[in-house]
């Protein structure tokens, strides 16, 4: 089976390609990147990408799929459908399911379920500690054999520096990245939003930036001590960014991701007590948002990830104090990044592809992903950077609707998603202002 | 008087203009007289239903709203969280929708979570009055405080007000900070470092909001000293070493009160912890207006219920509502036959004004 993605503009930072090219995929793998003048192969199905950007498949390092255990929020099938509708060919599934993905049986279940669904590649991430309880280490080696690509106790960060040290040392032996949600619980003190002017005004308990920063500094120091690969999830504060920047300068193997909501919204969005503005880390104040944008531009930030965290409407209808943290993000991430990062001049398209594909593949060592080198998987994200469209949460492929971006008109979108040479998603042409060719 | 209250709900002081605040205070002033009558009732809200939905224990505020509603002849229903279905696991919004199905005109809500009244207002047709939401706002408390100050000092403009105690967790402090600075007073907040964050100064509407670390600095030269209630649980959660130490370093005593202006007044939203945040000789002293606050609370809540629940006409008040009530009674014959007390009250209102 052959697919020729013709007439597009190929951007692949892994090979330094940034030019009008055709891409040939054969039997699920990249066969060749052809120059405009080169003769096209016979008998290939043609995808006309005139006016569109063709990039290696986008990878979300941070997705909550909720299966097993909370299928009313999301399933692997609905999450995968949302992923490909948002332009992601691969997502990394966080382990805070029920039961927690802390053993090879759960890992295997997720892998098998993903293969049945077949839409996107799902890479499970295992727990650091058993039950993510922050006590004993989980069976990382066995989970890796079953398919995990990293470990994290996301949502329930490891509180003990001593245990985190052991986790890093142990994970290093299996070449697994240790991903951490930096959040010192004693400093966060039960806060429900960013601590600052707005939390004071609204009378809501605040989580200070320092709760994230002190753990980020700890993890960076531990990365140096242990030599482990450490990935900081959803970095949202100036201090945490600064900690990563310094660790990188010192040669530590530290990487980090930021989310679209943290570079798009500030804590002022909490004013109306809309629980779709409640997430952890919380929306921060303007100075932190500016620090993130600077770090995206200067290379300190390695990846954009969604932290897609579906919750049922009934749960989000609770009081701000009691509603769960988190918002969905798979279907809005690429558009928000195009609009807020590219169109506002912080970065170019090449850097965007690096943040969504090249670097995520490198961070979790996803072999033959994040590149269009011949032999790599035929995972492709096709972008229309200028497409103007309106996000309608009621039509989301996710089972949940908890997003603060419902009704937003955005500029730029993924218009087709191709996994192993198969077109698994294609945006309807009826979209307003669409320029997609037939 | 031709001011307009451009609100369907009263969710907080923040966002109200000086004109709107003054209008509520002026309206409250006219209602004070109703409570001094022999028959303390006017028919203004007859046929209207007010639900007091209280998710937190409260005697003072709930009673005040209940009496306010009854003196306006509204049907007042009290729902306390302990007796409601909340304990059976029903969500706030389900409770709200169920109440809504019974067509109330106003819902007065007290809730331990900030923002609960705002969430209620989004799903309810009824007007929503915030009677205290978490640490966010307590607008009728700030209004009754302002009314009390205004009665004593004539105007709030240029006054120096000290607010002492647990600023961080206080909805009273927030509502007062907004209201007092909007009406031109300058406010000094003071309390222990754990409970009086310096960042609070950024919440000022005008420019007159400061945070002092020594309460003496806040009291010095003050026209008004407002003392907040200290919650006993603060000493168990590392905000305070002990209530004893709090009393020694942050309690309002006669000695500290001498730093204020000679004619300074003392206020407390209640309930008081005597001997902790305020000494009894201050609380019971000549400068204490604590019981005036309670009386004014009733007038303010009557004004708020009247302005929000009195129908379209009431949103644009051009006459004294207490006398306007008589007109309403006369124009609806069934009202006068059904409600003798209303007619008596109206007649009384008429005579007392003449």
pLDDT tens sequence across B254-296:
999 999 999 999 999 989 999 999 999 999 999 999 999 999 9
Closest alpha carbon within chain B to A274: B119
The pLDDT of residue A438: 35
- Give the 3-state secondary structure of residue A202: helix
d(CA B257, CA B145): 19
| Residue A140 to residue A148: CA distance in whole angstroms | 8
Which of chain A's residues have a Cβ under 8 Å away from the Cβ of B119? Answer: 273, 317, 319-320
Domains of chain B in start order, with CATH, are: 9-137+295-309 (3.40.50.1370), 139-290 (3.40.50.1370)
Using the beta-carbon criterion (under 8 Å), do B202 and A203 form an inter-chain contact? no
Mutate to test the interface with B, among A202, A272, A285 (most CBs of B within 10 A): A202
List the single residue in A196, A202, A318 with the smallest CB-CB distance to B114. A202
Q: How far apart are CA A52 and CA A7, in angstroms?
A: 8
Residue B225 pLDDT > 50: yes
Contact A203/B at CB under 8 A: yes
Q: For testing the chain A interface, which of B115, B136, B201, B203 should be mutated: the one with the most A CBs within 10 Å? A: B115
Question: What average pLDDT values come out for chain A (438 residues) when binned by 10 residues?
Answer: 95 97 97 90 93 98 97 98 98 97 98 96 98 96 98 92 98 98 95 97 97 98 98 98 98 98 98 97 98 98 98 94 96 98 98 98 98 98 97 97 98 98 87 40
Q: How far apart are CA A10 and CA A53, in angstroms?
A: 6
CA distance to partner chain A, nearest, from residue B103 (Å): 22
Question: Nearest-CA distance from B134 to chain A in Å?
Answer: 7
Mark yes or no for CB contact A204/B135 under 8 Å: yes
Cβ-Cβ contacts under 8 Å, A314 against chain B: 91
Respond yes or no: is residue A183 known to be catalytic: no
Measured in angstroms, the CA of A102 and the nearest CA of chain B are apart by: 32
Residue B320 has pLDDT above 80, yes or no: no
Grade residue B342 by pLDDT with cuts at 50, 70 and 90: very low
For residue B344, name the pLDDT band (cuts at 50, 70, 90). very low
CA A393 to chain centre: 19
More confident residue, A372 or B8: A372
Angstrom distance (rounded) from CA A156 to CA A278 = 17
DSSP conformational letter for B195 = T
What are the pLDDT digits (tens) for A180-218? 999 999 999 999 999 999 999 999 999 999 999 999 999
The answer to whether B118 contacts A203, with C-beta atoms less than 8 Å apart, is no
Copy the structure tokens of residue A224: 């140096």
Cβ of A203 and B200 within 8 Å? no
pLDDT of amino acid B207: 67
Contact B115 A317 (CB under 8 A): no
Cα–Cα distance measured from residue A73 to residue A312, given in angstroms and rounded to the nearest whole number: 5
Numbered residues of chain B with Cβ closer than 8 Å to any chain A Cβ:
14, 91-93, 111-116, 118-119, 133-137, 168, 171, 174, 197, 199-200, 202-203
Is A141 or B345 the better-scoring residue by pLDDT? A141
Q: Does a cis peptide bond (omega within 30 degrees of 0) precede residue A68?
A: yes
CB contact (8 A) between residue B171 and residue A203: yes
Residues 6+ apart with CB under 8 A from A13: A350, A351, A353, A354, A358
Which of A186, A203, A321 is the best mutation test for B, with the most CBs of B within 10 A? A203
Which ranges of A92-139 would DSSP assign to H, the alpha helix? 104-117
More confident residue, B164 or B202: B164
Enumerate the H helices of B238-339 as residue ranges: 243-250, 254-257, 280-283, 290-309, 321-331, 333-338
> Nearest C-alpha of chain A: how many angstroms from B14?
9
Q: Please write down the HEC assignment for all residues of A312-340.
A: CHHHHCCCCCCCCCCECCCCCHHHHHHHH
Q: What is the pLDDT of residue B59?
A: 87
Residue among B141, B155, B185, B169 at smallest CA distance from B290: B141
Band (B336; pLDDT cuts 50, 70, 90) = very low
**pLDDT 10s digits, B201-221:** 988 777 689 999 899 999 999
Point out the catalytic residue in the list A12, A307, A379, A384.
A307
Burial class (CB in 10 A: 0-12, 13-18, 19+), A220: buried
Contact A150, A364 (CB under 8 A): yes
What integer is the mean pLDDT of B124-128? Answer: 93
Stretch among A426-430, B76-80, B173-177, B179-183 having the lowest mean pLDDT: A426-430
Asked if the Cβ–Cβ distance from B135 to A201 is below 8 Å, we say: no
- Give the gap in angstroms from C-alpha A224 to the nearest C-alpha of chain B: 34
Lowest mean pLDDT among A311-325, B49-63, B332-346: B332-346
| Closest-CA residue to A66 (of A310, A327, A326) | A310
Environment class of B96 (CB within 10 Å of its CB; exposed 0-12, middle 13-18, buried 19+): buried
B137 and A319: CB-CB below 8 Å? no
Confidence category of residue B196, pLDDT binned at 50, 70, 90: very high
Chain A / chain B CB contacts < 8 angstroms:
56
Query: Is the pLDDT at B326 greater than 80, yes or no?
Result: no
Contacts of residue A204 in chain B, CB cutoff 8 Å? 114-115, 134-136
Chain A residues near residue B203 by CB distance under 8 angstroms:
197, 200-201
Nearest alpha carbon to residue B301 among B142, B137, B183: B142
Q: Residues B300-311, buried b or exposed e (16+ Cβ, 10 A)?
A: bbbbbbbbbbbe
Chain A positions touching B111 (Cβ under 8 A) are 319
- pLDDT tens for each residue of B108-125: 999 999 999 999 999 899
CA neighbours within 13 Å on the CB side: how many for B86?
Answer: 19
Cα of A98 vs its chain's centroid, Å = 21
Q: How far is CA B269 from CA A158, B42, B142, B181, B245, in A?
A: 43, 27, 9, 19, 22
Q: Between A306 and B310, whose confidence is greater?
A: A306
Q: pTM higher than 0.80, yes or no?
A: yes
The yes-or-no verdict on residue B321 having pLDDT over 60 is: no
| CB–CB contact A320 B115 (8 Å) | yes
Chain B closest CA to A285's CA: distance in Å?
Answer: 14
């Amino acid at each position: 089976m052959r697919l020729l993605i013709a007439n597009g503009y190929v951007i692949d930072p892994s090979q330094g390609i940034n030019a009008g090219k055709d891409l040939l995929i054969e039997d699920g793998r990249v066969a060749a990147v052809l120059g405009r003048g080169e003769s096209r192969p016979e008998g290939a199905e043609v995808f006309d990408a005139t006016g569109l950007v063709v990039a290696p498949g986008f990878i979300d390092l941070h997705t909550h799929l909720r299966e097993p255990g909370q299928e009313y929020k999301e399933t692997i099938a609905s999450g995968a459908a949302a992923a490909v509708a948002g332009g992601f060919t691969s997502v990394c599934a966080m382990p805070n399911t029920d039961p927690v993905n802390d053993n090879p049986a759960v890992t295997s279940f997720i892998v098998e379920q993903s293969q049945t669904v077949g839409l996107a590649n799902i890479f499970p991430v295992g727990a650091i500690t058993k039950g993510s309880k922050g006590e004993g280490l989980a069976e990382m080696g066995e989970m890796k054999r079953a398919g995990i690509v990293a470990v994290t106790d996301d949502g329930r960060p490891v509180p003990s520096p001593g245990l985190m040290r052991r986790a890093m040392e142990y994970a290093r032996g299996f070449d697994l990245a240790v991903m951490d949600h930096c959040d010192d619980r004693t400093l966060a003190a039960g806060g429900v939003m960013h601590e600052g002017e707005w939390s004071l005004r609204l009378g809501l308990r605040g989580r200070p930036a320092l709760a994230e920063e002190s753990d980020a500094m700890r993890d960076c120091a531990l990365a140096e001590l242990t030599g482990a690969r450490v990935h900081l999830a959803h970095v949202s504060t100036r201090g945490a960014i600064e900690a990563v920047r310094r660790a990188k300068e010192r040669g530590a193997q530290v990487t980090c991701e930021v989310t679209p909501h943290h570079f798009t919204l500030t804590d002022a969005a909490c004013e109306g007590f809309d629980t779709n503005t409640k997430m952890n880390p919380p929306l921060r104040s303007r100075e932190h948002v500016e620090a993130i944008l600077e770090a995206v531009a200067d290379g300190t930030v390695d990846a954009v990830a969604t932290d897609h965290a579906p919750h049922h409407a009934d749960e989000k209808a609770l009081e701000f104090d009691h509603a769960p943290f988190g918002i969905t993000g798979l279907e809005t991430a690429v558009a928000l990044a195009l609009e807020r990062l590219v169109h506002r001049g912080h970065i170019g398209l090449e850097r965007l592809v690096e943040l969504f594909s090249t670097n995520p593949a490198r961070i979790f060592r996803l072999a033959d992903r994040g590149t269009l080198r011949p032999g790599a998987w035929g995972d492709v994200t096709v972008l229309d950077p200028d497409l103007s469209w309106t996000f309608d949460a009621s039509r989301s492929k996710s089972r949940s609707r908890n997003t603060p971006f419902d009704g937003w008109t955005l500029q730029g979108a993924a218009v087709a998603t191709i996994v192993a040479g198969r077109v698994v998603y294609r945006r309807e042409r009826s979209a307003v202002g669409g320029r997609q060719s037939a | 008087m031709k001011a307009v209250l451009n609100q369907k709900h009263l969710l907080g002081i923040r966002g109200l203009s000086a004109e709107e605040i003054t209008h509520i205070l002026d309206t409250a002033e006219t209602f004070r007289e109703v409570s001094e009558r022999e028959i303390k009732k006017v028919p203004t809200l007859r046929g209207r239903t007010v639900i007091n939905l209280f998710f937190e224990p409260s005697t003072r505020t709930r009673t005040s709203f209940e009496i306010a509603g009854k003196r306006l002849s509204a049907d007042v229903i009290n729902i306390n969280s302990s007796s409601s279905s909340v304990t059976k696991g029903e969500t706030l919004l389900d409770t709200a929708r169920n109440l809504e199905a019974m067509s109330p005109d106003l819902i007065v809500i007290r809730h331990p979570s900030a923002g609960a009244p705002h969430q209620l207002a989004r799903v309810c047709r009824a007007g929503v009055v915030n009677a205290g939401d978490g640490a966010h706002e307590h607008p009728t408390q700030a209004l009754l405080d302002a009314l009390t100050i205004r009665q004593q000092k004539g105007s709030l403009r240029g006054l120096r007000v000290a607010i002492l105690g647990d600023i961080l967790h206080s909805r009273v402090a927030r509502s007062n900070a907004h209201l007092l600075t909007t009406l031109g007073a300058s406010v000094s907040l003071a309390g222990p470092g754990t409970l009086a964050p310096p960042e609070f100064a950024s919440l000022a509407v005008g420019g007159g909001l400061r945070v002092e670390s020594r309460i003496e600095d806040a009291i010095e030269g003050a026209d008004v000293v407002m003392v907040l209630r200290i919650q006993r649980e603060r000493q168990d959660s590392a905000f305070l070493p002990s209530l004893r130490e709090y009393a020694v370093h942050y309690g309002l005593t006669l000695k500290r009160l001498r730093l204020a202006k000679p004619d300074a007044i003392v206020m407390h939203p209640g309930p008081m912890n005597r001997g902790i945040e305020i000494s009894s000789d201050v609380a019971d002293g000549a400068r204490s207006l604590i019981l005036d606050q309670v009386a004014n609370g009733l007038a303010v809540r009557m004004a708020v219920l009247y302005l929000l629940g009195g129908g379209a006409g009431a949103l644009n008040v051009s006459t004294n509502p207490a006398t306007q009530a008589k007109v309403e009674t006369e124009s609806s014959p069934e009202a006068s036959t059904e409600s003798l007390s209303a007619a008596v009250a109206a007649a009384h209102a008429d005579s007392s004004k003449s």
